[in-house]
Structures are given as C-alpha cells and as structure tokens.
C-alpha cells in the first residue's frame, strides 16, 4: 500500500492519475475520469456525493485504504464498472442496488419520468395522478418502474423480466423504497407472463429492452462484458425483442395508453424495418437518443 496516501484528497488524486493512464471506459454513471475518481472514493467510504471538499483533508483508516486500493485495481485492471464495485447506481435522483445480475441504470428515459411523460401522456389517470397502471417491461434492476411509482404516487406498477435473478434485484429495490403495496415483479418473456387474454391493461408501458446488435456487441468496451449479455443483445440487428413488443403491446394498453421504448443506436435499423411508420423520436435536453413514443391507437397500424 502506498504509504503516502493518507487523506480523501490523496486517494482522489491517486485514482484520477491512474484512470488517466489507462484506456478505461466511462459511461456507467460518470463520463470522465475526475467524476469517476470522486464517486469511487466517496462511495467506497460511505460518504454522500456532495461531501464537502473542505473535508477532503480528513485522514482515512488502514482498513479503508486497503479496500480503496482493491477497488481501484478492480476498476482499472479488471475493467469492472464502478456501480458493480459499490453496489449502487443513481437513476432519476434515486439510489438503486445493482450487481452483475442486472444492467447498470443509464437510460435517458429518466428525463421523461422527471417530466411525467409530458406532453405525450393521454390518460386522465396519469395526468390527474389518480389510480393508474404502469408496466416496466424488461425491468432489470426495476429502476424505471420504481422511479415511475415514486413519481406517480397513486400508480400500481408491474415489473416484468425474463430473468429470475434480475427480478431478485428488482424486489430488493422495491423493498428498499417500501413499495410492496403498489409494485410487483412478474417473470415474463416479453408479455407472456400476463396471460394471453390481456385481462389487465396499462395506461403506460415503458421498456428499455435489449437492443444491441451482434456486431456492435463484439466491439463494445470491456466494461460492457461485465453486464449480463441477456440484457444487451437482441439478435443480428438488435430488434428481436422490439419487434415482439410492437406486435403485442396494443393488447395490453388502455384505449388512450402510451408505449415508450428505448432502442439506442438501433433506431436506424428500426426505421428501415418499418419504413412506413412515422416513429416519434424524443429529443432530450440532457443527452441520450433512440427513444420513441407511440399512442395505443397508432400501434394498430403496425399489426
């Protein structure tokens, strides 16, 4: 252990220098080496993100130093994304537990949740914050659905995922926010877990499904290999699950319901696959792309 590292500031500077010397990838919570360094050190010391830099001169213990050096190595040598090392990620200003069973939250859909899906929400239930039904499809950690439940305080929210392991993580996050009375998990291959008769319909279906194509996956930074491939890759063009969502979603939406889906870089492939359909693509103020919205009556044009 370097004997000269004694304070919070020492470790932030040390981490920053090491990150700058290595071809690490940022994009799982931060987008630069400085923010990553500050986040790593403060989170590993169980300090808040806004911990005053006037206190960075505080000395840390030998045990804390040893743990920090171990985590720094895992981040830089093993290329493990920081949220897996600290088991926490932030989405919509809310903290979520994450580990290697789920993707790390980073969807621009967070901005839509903050804006309460304005101006696209048509349902009076959601507009007036009355009792309503929301579905988070391919939920992973549950971050999108839980953030919706926290934003729409009277909504019932279903979290669907094919992975039992992912749903275990989602359930942990449900319990952390004490939402068991309004949010539930359902194991489901796309909509299959809801039954064929579509007994329940939703005001809002939101999905961040796997959408990476096979070729792109092979060229992604090493950090992405730590995430579950089931949550990333969806066929040769990345659209295997998206096609199923578009084909089936109308059966599970209310008459004035809304479908919101993220397809990322596969947006061009989607437009080529459905050349006659006028997708509405969201322009985000704080970055991100490849998210479309469709009203339930418009979905009938795709069937």
What tens digit of pLDDT does each residue of 140-169 get? 999 999 999 999 999 999 999 999 999 999
Q: What pLDDT is attached to residue 196?
A: 62
Task: Give the domain extent around 192.
Answer: 102-302
Looking at the chain, the whole-number percentage of residues with pLDDT higher than 90 is: 80
Q: Measure the N-to-C terminal CA separation of the chain; round to a whole number of Å.
A: 63
150 and 283 assigned to the same domain: yes
CA dihedral 74, 80, 86, 88 (to 10 degrees): 170
CATH number, position 278: 3.40.50.150
Is the whole-model pTM more than 0.85? yes
3-state DSSP assignment of residue 92: coil
Report the interhelical angle of 8-21 vs 62-76 (nearest 10°).
20
User: Which candidate, 259, 263, 258, places its Cα nearest to that of 232?
Assistant: 263
What average pLDDT does this structure show over 72-91?
A: 96
Tell me how far apart the alpha carbons of residues 171 and 140 are, in angstroms, rounded to a whole number.
10
- pLDDT of residue 2 exceeding 80, the answer is no
Does residue 2 sit within a domain?
A: no
Q: What pLDDT is attached to residue 49?
A: 85
Cα separations in angstroms, 20 against 5, 127, 147, 248: 18, 47, 34, 47
The better pLDDT of the pair 196, 280 is held by: 280
Q: How many domains does the chain have?
A: 2
Asked whether 32 and 26 are in contact (CB, 8 A), the reply is: yes
3-state secondary structure 252-302: HEEEEEEEEEECHHHHHHHHHHCCCCCCEECCCCCCCCCEEEEEHHHHHHH
52 and 163 assigned to the same domain: no
What tens digit of pLDDT does each residue of 179-216 get? 999 999 999 999 999 986 557 899 999 999 999 988 88
- pLDDT of residue 62 exceeding 60, the answer is yes
> How many residues are listed for the chain in this entry?
303
Residue that is last in its domain, among 42, 57, 86: 86
Does residue 274 sit within a domain?
A: yes
What is the distance of C-alpha 276 from the center of its chain? Answer: 30
Mean pLDDT, all residues of the chain: 93
């Amino acid at each position: 252990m370097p004997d000269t590292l004694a304070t919070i500031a020492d470790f932030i500077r040390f981490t920053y220098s090491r990150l700058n010397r290595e071809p690490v990838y940022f994009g799982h919570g931060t987008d630069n080496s400085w923010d990553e360094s500050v986040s790593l050190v403060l989170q590993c010391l169980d300090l808040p993100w806004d911990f005053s830099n006037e206190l960075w001169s505080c000395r840390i213990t030998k045990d804390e130093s040893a743990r920090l050096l171990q985590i720094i190595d895992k981040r830089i040598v093993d290329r493990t994304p920081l949220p897996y090392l600290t088991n926490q990620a932030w989405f919509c200003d809310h903290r979520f537990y994450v580990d290697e069973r789920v993707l790390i939250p980073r969807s621009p859909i967070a901005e839509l949740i903050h804006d309460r899906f304005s101006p696209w929400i048509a349902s009076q239930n959601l507009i007036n914050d009355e009792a309503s039904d929301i579905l988070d499809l391919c939920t992973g950690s549950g971050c999108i659905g839980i953030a919706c439940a926290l934003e729409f305080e009277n909504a019932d929210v279903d979290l669907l995922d094919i992975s039992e392991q992912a749903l275990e993580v989602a359930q942990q996050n449900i319990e952390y926010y004490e939402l068991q009375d309004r949010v539930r998990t359902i194991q489901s291959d796309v909509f299959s877990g809801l039954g064929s008769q579509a007994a329940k319909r939703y005001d809002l279906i939101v999905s961040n499904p796997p959408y990476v194509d096979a070729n792109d996956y092979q060229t992604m930074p090493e950090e992405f290999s730590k995430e579950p491939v089931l949550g990333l890759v969806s066929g040769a063009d990345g659209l295997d699950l998206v096609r199923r969502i578009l084909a089936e979603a109308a059966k599970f939406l209310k008459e004035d319901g809304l479908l919101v889906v993220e397809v990322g870089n596969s947006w061009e492939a989607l437009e080529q696959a459905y050349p006659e359909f006028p997708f509405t693509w969201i322009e985000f103020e704080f970055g991100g792309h490849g998210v479309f919205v469709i009203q339930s009556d418009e979905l009938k044009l795709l069937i």
